[in-house]
């Protein structure tokens, strides 16, 4: 199995829980790839996983609309296989199959204290993606919290998405 990190929103996470899986396929995700290992040979498994999860969190900003809660969501999923998707981003992969919810390990989700910065980044990306880099990079100051798969229903209830 390969751990992939799927950029998401709270609304999309609700859809994953209700549909009992991640899809439709193919879908984009981020993962530790050979290209990541080659680009960062001094890193280790933990650093590479963190890099892939962080890339997914940064990608989640582009998914947010003004109607979404301003929190980045990354769904951690164990998949049978994933293929590299983009030479410019060594973490970007494609998953070719719908993945059942039982393969969801959990989710990384911003806390309420990140909402102001996430909203600013969302608005900057919506206005002009080419010049939004500084606003999105400010989000690196926020570390999303881990929610195990069994806790996702409580997260959705807590955030008003249930």
pTM comes to 0.94
Q: Give me the tens of pLDDT residue by residue for the chain, a chain 162 residues long.
A: 999 999 999 999 999 999 999 999 999 999 999 999 999 999 899 999 999 999 999 999 999 999 999 999 999 999 999 999 977 899 999 999 999 999 999 999 999 999 999 999 999 999 988 889 899 999 999 999 999 999 999 999 999 987
pLDDT for the residue numbered 124 = 94
Burial-class residue 122 by CB neighbours within 10 Å (0-12, 13-18, 19+). Answer: buried
pLDDT for the residue numbered 162 = 73
Closest CA to 90 of 28, 7, 32: 32
pLDDT for the residue numbered 131 = 85
The neighbouring-strand residues paired with 3 are: 78
pLDDT for the residue numbered 125 = 93
Both structure tokens of 105? 């390990």
Query: How far apart, in whole angstroms, are the C-alpha atoms of residue 62 and residue 161?
Result: 19
pLDDT for the residue numbered 130 = 84
Helix, strand, or coil here: 5?
strand
pLDDT for the residue numbered 129 = 84
Are 14 and 75 contacting, i.e. CB atoms less than 8 angstroms apart? no
pLDDT for the residue numbered 149 = 97
Query: How far apart, in whole angstroms, are the C-alpha atoms of residue 4 and residue 134?
Result: 26
Angle at CA of residue 112, ends 99 and 17, nearest 5°: 20
């Amino acid at each position: 199995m390969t751990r992939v990190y799927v950029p998401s929103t709270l609304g999309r996470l609700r859809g994953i829980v209700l549909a009992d899986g991640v899809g439709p396929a193919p879908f984009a995700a981020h993962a530790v790839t050979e290209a990541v290992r080659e680009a960062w040979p001094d890193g280790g498994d933990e650093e590479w996983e963190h890099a892939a999860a962080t890339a997914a969190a940064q990608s989640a900003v582009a998914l947010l609309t003004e109607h979404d809660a301003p929190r980045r969501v990354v769904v951690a999923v164990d998949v049978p296989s994933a293929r590299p998707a983009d030479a410019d981003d060594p973490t970007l992969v494609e998953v070719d199959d719908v993945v059942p919810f039982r393969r969801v390990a959990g989710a990384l989700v911003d806390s309420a204290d990140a909402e102001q910065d996430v909203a600013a980044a969302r608005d900057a990306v919506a206005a002009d993606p080419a010049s939004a880099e500084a606003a999105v990079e400010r989000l690196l100051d926020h570390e999303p919290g881990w929610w195990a798969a069994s806790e996702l229903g409580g997260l959705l209830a807590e955030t008003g998405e249930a």
